[in-house]
Amino acid sequence: MRILISNDDGVQADGIRVLAEVLSEVAEVVVVAPDRQRSAAGHGITLHKPLYVEEMTIGNGIRAYGVSGTPADCVKFGVNQILRDEHPDLVVSGINAGSNLGSDVMYSGTVSAAIEGAIQGIPSIAVSQLGVKDFDYTAAAKFTAQLAREVLKNGLMPETVLNVNVPQVAASEIRGVQVTTLGTRRYHNEFEERINPRGVSYYWLAGGLKDIEAEPESDIKAVRDGYISVSPVHFDFTNRQLMETLKAWQLD
């Protein structure tokens, strides 16, 4: 068995190192990840400039590649170039430093790396650890190893990834695992204006989360209650119910 590991925090991030070390007990692992921080890169890919790749080792001698592109680039390159003759059985993206809950999945480079794996026809998992600093990835990595075993044994439906979020509590305080929906998450979108030394304005996107009541079966509620959330995310965006309504419109 072979697992391709990626992320959006960069190939030298602690989360990917811990994940790779633990998953190496499950299968052979190869890491292909951005050469720098690429959080919130979404599913962008690089078309108009070359990709540069540096081979290295991380953790306890694990084969790794730092790529000058996005998380989706890394999975494409890993599957179709580095592992073209040794096809991966599973793609795992993470462990992300911070949550990817609800609508975060639309922006997340972590989730997009997993989605790219699914696009390539490979069962895929995205894993995130809640928190803002002093991350302990041990519990998240151990759970991911167990989940990886189950996925390798049972498979996944096409065009589906498992999005995992681990609560910000000690491992001994995790209450269990819940299979969840994606919750509703909104942000206060504020732009902070600053002036550079040449007198030109520039802006930083800022603003925190809006307080939205979490739906009973959502990933947001699960992690608030101390559970690991596992959300099956399907990326067929077609609203099939609305198709019938649209057919009745005067569109010709």
pLDDT tens profile 179-207: 999 998 888 888 999 999 999 999 998 87
3 state DSSP class of 52? coil
3 state DSSP class of 28? strand
Decide if pLDDT at 209 tops 80.
no
Q: Within a domain: residue 205?
A: no
The residue range of the domain holding 108 is 2-183+214-247
Q: Within a domain: residue 201?
A: no
For residue 220, say if its preceding peptide bond is cis, omega within 30 degrees of 0: no
- pLDDT score of 159: 93
Q: Within a domain: residue 242?
A: yes
Confidence class of residue 228 from pLDDT cuts 50, 70 and 90? very high
Going from the C-alpha of 238 to that of each of 14, 235, 243, the distances in angstroms are 37, 9, 8
Decide if pLDDT at 115 tops 90.
yes
Q: What is the CATH number of the domain that holds 229?
A: 3.40.1210.10
| 24-80 tens-digit pLDDT | 999 999 999 999 999 989 999 999 999 999 999 999 999 999 999 999 999 999 999
Q: Within a domain: residue 202?
A: no
Decide if pLDDT at 250 tops 80.
yes
Q: Within a domain: residue 66?
A: yes
Confidence class of residue 211 from pLDDT cuts 50, 70 and 90? low
What's the pTM? Answer: 0.94
- pLDDT score of 133: 86
| 27-38 tens-digit pLDDT | 999 999 999 999
Q: Within a domain: residue 36?
A: yes
Q: Give the integer Cα–Cα distance in Å for 251 and 127.
A: 43
Q: Within a domain: residue 92?
A: yes
- pLDDT score of 16: 98
Q: Give me the number of domains the chain comprises.
A: 1
* Mean pLDDT over the full length of the chain: 94
Q: Within a domain: residue 87?
A: yes
